[in-house]
Amino acid sequence: MNRAEIRINRELQRILKEPPSNCSANVIDEDDIYQWVGTIMGPKDTPYENGVFFLKITFPSTYPYDPPKIMFNTKIYHPNIDDDGNICLDILRKQWVPTLTISKVLLSICSLMADPNPNDPLMPNIGKQYENDINAFNITAKQYTQNYAS
């Protein structure tokens, strides 16, 4: 087993034993430790509440020195998540440090869902709507949650 596999296995055991609040993750196939599915329960008091959101987690062979690639498989209406499921979150790019774990990353994504950053949007039109008409944003985000995440 190489360094990445040792670290990924350790994180897998930890997340299965003590999953972060409102989140979980597991391997998709026991024969491929590098491919996981993550689950986030929509944060309370947000338009995503009661939704179940699935994410695809792919670890590079250079993990933990390079970040995992994480994408939403569940369609979501959010200024920092595009139509393909890409997530604009600094710790998944420039701010990645090897001490971060999947548990911490899932909690950060959950936090981003509860508190979008319209100043750094992947979806500029949704970012503008979030800033200028939060009620319309919430209605559309709730509708997406009901349609795709329930």
Kindly write down the DSSP assignment for every residue of 8-38, as one continuous string: HHHHHHHHHHSPPTTEEEEEEETTEEEEEEE
| Active site annotation includes 88 | yes
CB-based contact 86:75 (threshold 8 Å): no
Structure tokens at 65: 């020195």
- Tokens found for residue 126: 């949704």
Cβ-in-10-Å burial (0-12, 13-18, 19+) of 128 comes to middle
Distance, CA of 87 to CA of 70 (rounded, Å)? 7
Query: Which of these is catalytic: 8, 70, 88, 113?
Result: 88
Active site residues: 88
